[in-house]
Structure 1
Amino acid sequence: MVVSFPEAGTITDRDLTYVVIVAETKGKWIFCKHKDRDTWEIPGGHIESGEKPMEAAARELQEETGAEVFELKRLCAYSVEHEERTSYGLLFHAHVEKLKKMPNSEISEISLDDNLPGKLTYPEIQPDLFHKVKTELAEYRR
């Protein structure tokens, strides 16, 4: 798998299939574990039919982390090439002010960490996305 970050403006919202939200709260990164897997994930998922990427990101963040009060920022598009197929997603950063009890969902637990957990669901994709957000935030905060 090859992850890349296309130049701004080259990918339209119609091209997008996924949203990924690198989220933090109280100085810790938020990761979630799907109830059917024993691995950690960055919150995210599919954009549903008729849904805008920002709406999908907010929905996924709430469903997968219990985020109740948060600020969501659209960062950049990304692509994943796998077996002659390319899919596109949109990368977000979220600053979460308040987490509530997890809704009954596909997520069994969340974790607050200083860095990426060791056992990832998508180890060929998630580190690139996580580091892109950290780089973008470092540049923004200069």
Structure 2
Amino acid sequence: MKNQKHREGKMEAHKKKMLRYGRKQRKLEWRKKAVSQKKGWDEIKKRKVLKSLDLAYMSSEEEINSENETAFRIVPLPWRSEEFDGICQELDAKHDRYKSARSKRQMVKRVRGSIPSTRPKPSDVDDENSWVLKE
């Protein structure tokens, strides 16, 4: 299987896909941890947000390489609600505040992109998570 991927030139694409998946998975774990650290939220809101934290609702990131530095461009999801966008930004900020100095130095810069994703909205959203989507 591995040799077949090399022959077909798919190994590099597979590596990139796995790197993106790993980044999204780590970001999802950060956000879940940040929910548990939120002091201003009651348990009902925490449960609601935790139920909605899913890879299907997370925006993608594209790697930007320039001569001086590497960054990730966040590709906004046009179908995601402003409320959920705000909560995700709040959780990311909470996570950033708790990072060590070393972790902050090693973190790759993220910039918000202006071109929205073409990824279709998930079709299997249950009623509890309907607030994640725009009306």
Structure with higher RCO (Cα < 8 A, 6+ apart): 1
Q: Based on CA coordinates, which of the two structures has the bigger radius of gyration?
A: 2
**TM-score > 0.5 by shorter chain:** no
Q: TM-score, normalised by structure 2?
A: 0.28
